[in-house]
Amino acid sequence: MNTNSKENQSQKMNSETEEKLEKKEVSLSEITGEETMGELLDIYESSLKKFEEGQVVTGIVISIGRDTVLVDVGYKSEGQISIHEFIDEKGNVNVHVGDQVEVMIELWDEEEETVLLSHEKAKKVKVWDAIKDIYDADQTIKGVITSRVKGGFSVDIGLIGFLPGSQADLRPIRNMDEMVNRTYTFKILKYNKKRNNIVLSRRVLLEAERDKLRTTTLDAIEDGKIMEGIVKNITEYGIFVDLGGVDGLLHITDISWGRVKHPSELFSVGDKINVKILSYDFEKERVSLGMKQLTPDPWTTAIHKYPVGSKVTGKVVSLTDYGAFIELEEGVEGLIHVSEMSWTRKIRHPSQMVTVGEEVEAVVLDLKPENRRISLGIKQTVDNPWEVISQKYPVGTIIEGKIKNITEFGLFIGIDDDIDGLVHISDISWTKRIKHPSEVYKKNDTIQAVVLDIDKANERFSLGIKQTQKDPWETVSQRYEVGKEISGVITNLTDFGVFVELEEGIEGLVHVSEISKENVKSPKEHYAVGDTITAKVMNINSDERRIGLSIKRLQDDEDDGKYLEEFAKNMKPATSSFGEILRTNIKEQIEANRIQNAKK
């Protein structure tokens, strides 16, 4: 047998022996040859593995106890691992006898033949090795964002890494909590094993992806093209849409043909929408987008849909001081002016008639598609009460109604259909001087009045209360003949005369020049309000409602009567027929005056 075959046989024997020794199945009876016991022990000890603390090795689980797991790592005594390293979140032990596990040598005491192991630390060592390889190869790693921390997030990639907030996305994140418990792909920016520090970035990956998309998108963009995008940001003036690495602005005026108060009412960040390229500035890389342009302009068919005179139904979308805007369809709104809301009521604000969100019926009054304007009216949906009011209440009709309002110039009487009739202060009484209608009437009083006039064009209904009775001035000349002596109470004194009430509402005036033959500077020097005086009727003007009186003329008549009587007494017997006639006439005049005075 040559030397090589002897060596091979020896190596084979040693290998078999080592295997049996490792399995602890070797016995002296199985050892043949010239080796001594000491040599055999040397062979056995040399076959055991040598370890260093911090080394990661693979072992086999040989038993699972209450507190520890025993792992055979090829040493003369088993290594121990705390059972807690194999207990999952639910409290279950996730290891079995016979499982191969990677462990790290935490403590190796050859004298005490004690080996303490750690499965968790072995995994961390493997992760650090993987992190180094990934970093060196400029590759990516997946991880789960576990929680928010100051300045960013904690990420589980096998070890806990830090993701700065600025590296989490391409744009600032409004709600950072939404990213927690989600899995993402990251780039390792830097790591330090000694300090247990790993810094990650998601943004650099997104930027790289965006740059790739940007080139493709820019090549595809052209005016008039319809593209799909994602809502990236929302402002009060519009929304920014990511078309694929290129952002475009969809202005609020190009969102809808209809009214849009704020884009957030229609969109949310992340929404996928279709838009039309309106314009693209290659130099500034600005893209203007439109959404309403995806559908035809409704005003192009409005003239056929809403002819003048037709009835339409719409929703009140806005109120102003001058009227209400009604949405007939998306993009088509009409205005109901306050003057077109009621035939009879004076509408100061449209809120008196309609509310936002209310469905209303109206009539098209005017249409100007070129100006995008439609004029509507509500009152035209019902008959105009002023068209029939004159037939229902012809002039001269006596009506009855309640006083709805009192002003300094008259009374407003409710009739029907919200039509109010006005009794002017001058038509309240034939005779009384009324300074304010409230002196005579109160609100809600029921009164009768006569229809004086109906002006449909100006929507005026005139009534009169005094006309329900005859005008006492029409017969005043019959009651107070010119030349008649009358008595009355002084109601007013002025510098130009004395007013005397002859009956209720009928007054006469004694001018200052008709008070006395003597010069009277002021009537107040001779009379007082409430005094009763007698005067003579001088003239009557029923049209102007004036009666002229005179005290002076009454005195003249008395003086004339006394003079005639004195003249008649002293008159000598007549010597001619003329003298006899004159004498007779004087006596008749004196007698007539006596009879007249007696009647008075």
Residue 304 located in a structural domain: yes
Rounded Cα distance between 521 and 377, Å, is 68
Rounded Cα distance between 387 and 409, Å, is 27
- Report yes or no: 262 and 236 within 8 Å, Cβ to Cβ: yes
390 and 464 belong to one structural domain: yes
Rounded Cα distance between 213 and 170, Å, is 14
- Report yes or no: 310 and 302 within 8 Å, Cβ to Cβ: no
- Report yes or no: 382 and 424 within 8 Å, Cβ to Cβ: no
According to DSSP, residue 148 is labeled: E
User: How distant is the alpha carbon of residue 355 from its chain centre?
Assistant: 12
Instruction: Judge whether residue 600 has pLDDT over 50.
Output: no
Tokens linked to 563: 């003079």
Residue type, 197: N
CATH code (residue 520): 2.40.50.140
Query: Considering only CA atoms, which of 242, 250, 295, 237 is closest in space to residue 271?
Result: 242
pLDDT classification of 563: cutoffs 50, 70, 90: very low
Rounded Cα distance between 233 and 310, Å, is 43
Instruction: List the beta bridge partners of residue 155.
Output: 145, 161
Q: What is the mean pLDDT of residues 137-145?
A: 91
pLDDT classification of 63: cutoffs 50, 70, 90: confident
546 and 582 belong to one structural domain: no
pLDDT of residue 596: 56
Tokens linked to 114: 């004690």
Write the CA distances from 398 to 436, 447, 451, integer angstroms. 24, 10, 6
Rounded Cα distance between 573 and 578, Å, is 12
pLDDT of residue 583: 56
Tokens linked to 480: 């107070």
- 170-188 confidence digits (pLDDT tens): 877 878 888 999 999 999 9
Q: What is the mean pLDDT of residues 104-129?
A: 74
- Report yes or no: 443 and 413 within 8 Å, Cβ to Cβ: no
Residue 335 located in a structural domain: yes
Instruction: Judge whether residue 157 has pLDDT over 70.
Output: yes
Q: What is the mean pLDDT of residues 450-461?
A: 87
Residue 120 located in a structural domain: no
399 and 459 belong to one structural domain: yes
Instruction: Judge whether residue 394 has pLDDT over 80.
Output: yes
Q: What is the mean pLDDT of residues 76-99?
A: 80
Look at residues 434, 468, 502 and tell me which one is the last residue of a structural domain.
Answer: 468
Region of 98 (left: φ > 0; alpha: ψ -120 to 50; beta: rest) is left
Count helices and strands (H / E) in the chain: 9, 30
567 and 516 belong to one structural domain: no
393 and 463 belong to one structural domain: yes
Tokens linked to 159: 């070890």
Residue 531 located in a structural domain: yes
In degrees rounded to 5, what are phi and psi of residue 444?
Answer: 80, 0
490 and 434 belong to one structural domain: no
Q: Is 385 helix (H, G, I), strand (E, B) or coil?
A: helix
Higher pLDDT: 473 or 26? It is 473
440 and 404 belong to one structural domain: yes
Please give the torsion angle defined by the CA atoms of residues 490, 495, 497 and 500, in that order, rounded to the nearest 10 degrees: -20
Residue 95 located in a structural domain: no
375 and 390 belong to one structural domain: no
Instruction: Judge whether residue 562 has pLDDT over 80.
Output: no
Query: Who contacts 385 (Cβ-Cβ below 8 Å, separation ≥6)?
Result: 343, 344, 416, 417, 418, 419
Rounded Cα distance between 66 and 68, Å, is 6
- Report yes or no: 285 and 243 within 8 Å, Cβ to Cβ: no
Rounded Cα distance between 569 and 578, Å, is 18
- 247-289 confidence digits (pLDDT tens): 899 999 999 888 888 999 899 988 999 999 998 887 777 889 9
Instruction: List the beta bridge partners of residue 281.
Output: 286
pLDDT of residue 212: 80
Higher pLDDT: 115 or 186? It is 186
Instruction: List the beta bridge partners of residue 471.
Output: none
Higher pLDDT: 228 or 569? It is 228
Instruction: Judge whether residue 463 has pLDDT over 90.
Output: yes
The boundaries of the domain holding residue 262 are 221-294
Look at residues 263, 294, 325 and tell me which one is the last residue of a structural domain.
Answer: 294
429 and 479 belong to one structural domain: no
pLDDT of residue 240: 93
Rounded Cα distance between 12 and 6, Å, is 10
pLDDT of residue 249: 93
Residue type, 520: V
325 and 346 belong to one structural domain: yes
The whole-model pTM stands at: 0.46
pLDDT of residue 24: 41
Total domains, the chain: 6
Rounded Cα distance between 362 and 379, Å, is 8
Residue 102 located in a structural domain: no
Helix H segments across 137-226? Answer: 203-220
Let me know if 267 is exposed, middle or buried by CB neighbors in 10 A (0-12, 13-18, 19+). middle
- Report yes or no: 31 and 22 within 8 Å, Cβ to Cβ: no
Region of 413 (left: φ > 0; alpha: ψ -120 to 50; beta: rest) is beta
Q: State how beta strands 100-109 and 114-118 pair.
A: antiparallel
Residue 426 located in a structural domain: yes
- 213-241 confidence digits (pLDDT tens): 777 777 778 888 889 999 989 999 999 99
- Report yes or no: 258 and 330 within 8 Å, Cβ to Cβ: yes
Long-range contacts of 529-534 (CB under 8 A, 24+ apart): 529/490, 529/491, 529/492, 529/493, 530/489, 530/490, 531/489, 531/490, 532/487, 532/488, 532/489, 532/490, 533/487, 533/488, 533/490, 533/498, 533/500, 534/485, 534/486, 534/487
201-210, 238-247, 277-286, 306-315: least confident range: 277-286
Instruction: Judge whether residue 89 has pLDDT over 80.
Output: no
Q: What is the mean pLDDT of residues 312-327?
A: 94
Rounded Cα distance between 88 and 561, Å, is 145
Look at residues 294, 319, 344 and tell me which one is the last residue of a structural domain.
Answer: 294
Tokens linked to 400: 């009855």
Q: What is the mean pLDDT of residues 139-157?
A: 91
Query: Considering only CA atoms, which of 30, 58, 57 is closest in space to residue 43?
Result: 30
Tokens linked to 209: 């992806």
Let me know if 253 is exposed, middle or buried by CB neighbors in 10 A (0-12, 13-18, 19+). exposed
- Looking at the chain, how many residues does it have? 600
Residue 146 located in a structural domain: no
Please give the torsion angle defined by the CA atoms of residues 65, 67, 69 and 75, in that order, rounded to the nearest 10 degrees: -110
514 and 544 belong to one structural domain: yes
